[in-house]
């Protein structure tokens, strides 16, 4: 009989699933790396959840006295503004101008009340509050120009002042948002 291959016995090669002695260090390294990664993630999340205190945001006030009082003043004014007819639904420019002018009267009174409670110190935060109130005053003036143009019968566009490279209302709204004063954001009745 010609030479035929002889089957190998079970003991001639590696047993499936058995570890080759060279795999032991690699396996230990993998286990160590995975364990380290999981530990780093757990420690990181524990730090974020229980110990991390983010730094104060730009324009965020440390003293909450002004934001709390301002939110009350703004909420009362915005309630009155919201009760007015929707300016964009007016039948003609004059009617829309009358509505915007009525809203402006409420906003001007709000700015006056905010001016009465703004801090007077020289601290940077106090100056920031005064600047924000001045921005509101300018915004109301821009609205007044718009209302007069509408009341004169022009189909005018609302043009507002800028602060830096953006619209003044964005700066006002950003300050209000950072300081948790949602009622002190600019109304969207003239856009």
Token pair listed for 161: 């002042």
pLDDT reading at 13 higher than 80: no
Do 165 and 77 share a structural domain?
yes
Q: Which residue has the higher pLDDT, 10 or 162?
A: 162
Query: Which of 83-87, 112-116, 124-128 is the most confident on average?
Result: 112-116
| pLDDT tens column, 164-188 | 889 999 999 999 999 999 999 999 9
pLDDT reading at 111 higher than 80: yes
Do 163 and 101 share a structural domain?
yes
Nearest to 161 by CA among 172, 153, 151, 169: 169
Q: Which residue has the higher pLDDT, 3 or 110?
A: 110
Q: Round to whole Å and give the CA distance between 101 and 149.
A: 11
* Summary mean pLDDT of the chain: 88
Domain count within the chain: 2
CA distances from 161 to 11, 80, 125, 144, 158 (A): 88, 25, 23, 12, 10
pLDDT value at position 28? 86
Do 161 and 72 share a structural domain?
yes
pLDDT value at position 27? 85
- The answer as to whether 78 is a domain residue is yes
Do 98 and 34 share a structural domain?
no
User: Which range of residues forms the domain containing residue 44?
Assistant: 19-50
Do 79 and 35 share a structural domain?
no
When pLDDT is averaged across residues 118-145 and rounded to a whole number, the result is 95
Model pTM? Answer: 0.71
Nearest to 184 by CA among 91, 96, 59: 59
- The answer as to whether 170 is a domain residue is yes
Do 179 and 134 share a structural domain?
yes
When pLDDT is averaged across residues 122-127 and rounded to a whole number, the result is 92
Instruction: Output the DSSP codes for 70-107.
Output: HHHHHHHHHHHHHHSPPGGG-SSHHHHHHHHHHHHHHH
pLDDT value at position 17? 59
pLDDT value at position 16? 62
């Amino acid at each position: 009989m010609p030479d035929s291959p002889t089957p190998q016995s079970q003991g001639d090669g590696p047993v499936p699933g058995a570890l080759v002695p060279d795999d032991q260090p690699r396996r230990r390294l993998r286990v160590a790396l995975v364990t380290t990664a999981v530990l780093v993630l757990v420690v990181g999340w524990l730090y974020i959840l229980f110990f991390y205190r983010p730094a104060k945001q730009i324009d965020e006030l440390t003293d909450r006295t002004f934001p709390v009082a301002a939110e009350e003043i703004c909420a009362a004014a915005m309630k009155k503004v919201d009760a007015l007819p929707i300016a964009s639904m007016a039948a003609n420019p004059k009617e829309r101008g009358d509505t915007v002018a009525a809203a402006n009267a409420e906003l001007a009174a709000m700015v006056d009340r905010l001016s009465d409670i703004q801090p007077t110190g020289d601290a940077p935060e106090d100056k920031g509050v005064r600047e924000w109130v001045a921005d509101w005053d300018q915004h109301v003036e821009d609205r007044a120009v718009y209302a007069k143009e509408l009341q004169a019968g022009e189909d005018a566009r609302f043009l507002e002042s800028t602060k830096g490279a953006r619209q003044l209302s964005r700066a006002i709204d950003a300050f209000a948002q950072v300081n948790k004063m949602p009622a002190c954001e600019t109304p969207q009745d003239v856009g």
